[in-house]
Structure 1
Amino acid sequence: MFEKKIFIVIPAYQAALTLESVFERIPREIYEKDVRIVVVNDGSSDGTGDIARRIARSRPNVEVIDHPQNKGYAQAQKTGFSHALDQGADIAALLHADGQYAPELLPRLLAPLERDEADVVIGSRMLERGALKGGMPMYKYIANKALTAIENLAYGLRVSEYHSGYMLYSRRCLEAIPFVRLSDTFHFDGEMIMMAGKRKLRIKEIAIPTRYADEKSHLKPVQYGFDVLKIVWQNYRGKYEF
């Protein structure tokens, strides 16, 4: 089995306080693979770009792409994934810059893609009750479960959550899904799962722990909920039949 070319995409907005620690937490074995790490500095004003470039100078497998202005979470992913495809990636993994999703778990999450057992890997906080164990507020837990139930019913899938930010994709997946045409909302990840189902791609979920600490979230929960429901409705109306 040939070694697959892995790109780790890190959207980074106002992540100056956490970005360096995320790199330090990436396991050594990841750096020993054929891996490139792409930090998409999404118009940050707090020095995130400077820190990312300093890291890149000390690590030859790290590169930085700057958005001159903030374009948002989805656009940062689209930039990173498009770049990964252009550079010949076999696998693209999304890793958040705030450290909430454990970089230590990358080897476990990458494994099904490296073995060609999946096209999409979801790091699920809802399996094994990881969300509640990790301190997810009850209102977020209930909202996650309710929205996921609606989405499963609407999309004909059976996944434990559509709302994780720990997502990994095969090249086949990124080529099959026209991801640049998806929304620019915070529910881009959920749309990718929906589209993977439509394309009959192999989806695998792996339980991950939940960590709620001092991270600053830019997600607005009420707006996010309405975005999810709007996407469900648009799918019902046939918007995603492309």
Structure 2
Amino acid sequence: MSPVNAKVGVVIPSYRVTAHILDVVTRVGPRCHAIYVVDDACPDGSGRFVQEHCRDPRVKVVFNEVNLGVGGAVMHGYRVAVDDGCDVIVKIDGDGQMAPELLPQFIDPILEGYADYTKGNRFFDLSEISQMPAVRLFGNAVLSFMSKISSGYWDVFDPTNGYTAIHARIVEHLPLDKISRRYFFESDMLFRLNTLRCVVLDVPMDANYGDEESNLKIKSIVFDFLFKHIRNFFKRIFYNYFLRDLSPASLELLAGPLLLLMGTVYGATQWQSSAQQNVMTAPGTVMLAALPVLMGFQLILAFLSHDMQSVPKVAIHRRLHRKRKALSQTPV
């Protein structure tokens, strides 16, 4: 696929963004061939508003009969864009926080074969993040750490950033019905992308906060996100280290926690027994408890090192495209 001939679609989930949506659509540059405004059962009728006031022939308004959440709206937009033959699909919000002028920086790495999925990173330029409210700054740092563990993308930051681009071949292999429909969907996307071994690339961007009000409240979602990150972590570990492959890291992951638990339990039991008898624990007993703890800790560190080095490095969308083309040419 030539970057010049590639068809680029932009999906804009629309919910209570009537004041900003037209400006966002107007600023989408000529690199984009189609714009999909997804009215997610918007109470202020932003979809109808766009239809009545926007004359850009690239714009297609898609309506959800019921509110599916931001993730559900994006997945609907993805399906329509893929059906329309788009090669790369960009997702931006309709509230004006994301500059459409940055669109080439998101699509070029995909078209050039360096990435399968790109996403914004508002933390790249430290001089710019002072614009971000303190509670968001702290909350995003916590969420980024949880996302690194659950998704396996240790080199990716700002996981809740909704400015993204993805190759259509990757969309076709994602379980769109299983991806979270609410605010967790960006983080859930990273987990799903890792199971496909997709390359994810951060794109530096500035934080931009005007008079728009975000519906994402960090304090209200931290514990919900924590539960879902833990769930995705265990799923990823099972998929990557036991179901699809068995490597030395798999054995390290099994032996490390087991030795750490055995040493801790044995040491605690011996300490309690010595305390009850009011005697000092024998040095040999201490060493017998400490040795499995140290070995277990070292094995866990070795597994983490392997996991951090296992971040996907080779984009797979070209391989998927060639496979699809080969299958279409196979005689029946």
Please, what TM-score do these two structures have when normalized by structure 1? Answer: 0.89
RMSD: 2.0
What is the aligned counterpart of 1:17 among 19, 39, 53?
19
Which is helix-richer, 1 or 2?
Answer: 2
Map of 1:201 onto structure 2: 198
AA at the equivalent of 1:15 = V
Q: Distance in 2 between matches of 1:100 and 1:137?
A: 14
1:45 equivalenced with 2:47 (yes/no): no
Q: Distance in 2 between matches of 1:220 and 1:144?
A: 11
Map of 1:89 onto structure 2: 86
Gaps of 5+ in 2: 244-332
Q: Distance in 1 between matches of 2:211 and 2:20?
A: 10
What is the aligned counterpart of 1:143 among 131, 139, 144?
139
Q: Distance in 1 between matches of 2:44 and 2:157?
A: 36
The alpha-carbon distance between structure 1 residues 24 and 231, as it changes in their structure 2 partners (threshold 3 A), is same
Map of 1:166 onto structure 2: 163
Map of 2:34 onto structure 1: 36
Do the aligned residues in 2 keep the contact of 1:130 with 1:208 (CA within 8 Å)? no
| Cα drift, residue 130 of structure 1 | 6.3
Deviation digits for residues 182-216 of structure 1 (CA, Å, limit 9, x no counterpart): 11220201111122122111111110000111112
SS in 2 for 1:129: coil
| Cα drift, residue 50 of structure 1 | 2.1
Map of 2:312 onto structure 1: none
Q: Distance in 2 between matches of 1:130 and 1:105?
A: 19
Map of 1:26 onto structure 2: 28
AA at the equivalent of 1:39 = V
Equivalent residues in 2 for 1:68-217 (5 A)?
Answer: 68-129=65-126, 132-133=129-130, 135-158=131-154, 159-217=156-214
Do the aligned residues in 1 keep the contact of 2:121 with 2:202 (CA within 8 Å)? yes
AA at the equivalent of 1:25 = R
Gaps of 5+ in 1: none
Map of 2:288 onto structure 1: none
Q: Distance in 1 between matches of 2:115 and 2:73?
A: 24
Larger radius of gyration: 2
SS in 2 for 1:122: strand
What is the aligned counterpart of 2:62 among 65, 76, 96?
65
| Cα drift, residue 224 of structure 1 | 2.4
SS in 1 for 2:36: strand
Q: Distance in 1 between matches of 2:127 and 2:146?
A: 21
| Cα drift, residue 131 of structure 1 | 5.6
Do the aligned residues in 2 keep the contact of 1:18 with 1:97 (CA within 8 Å)? yes
SS in 2 for 1:99: coil
The number of equivalent residue pairs is: 236
Q: Distance in 1 between matches of 2:200 and 2:22?
A: 31
Map of 2:215 onto structure 1: 218
Deviation digits for residues 23-55 of structure 1 (CA, Å, limit 9, x no counterpart): 22223x33xx5x110000111122312221125
Do the aligned residues in 2 keep the contact of 1:130 with 1:210 (CA within 8 Å)? no
| Cα drift, residue 144 of structure 1 | 1.0
| Cα drift, residue 146 of structure 1 | 1.8
Map of 1:6 onto structure 2: 8
Deviates more, 1:231-240 or 1:154-163: 231-240
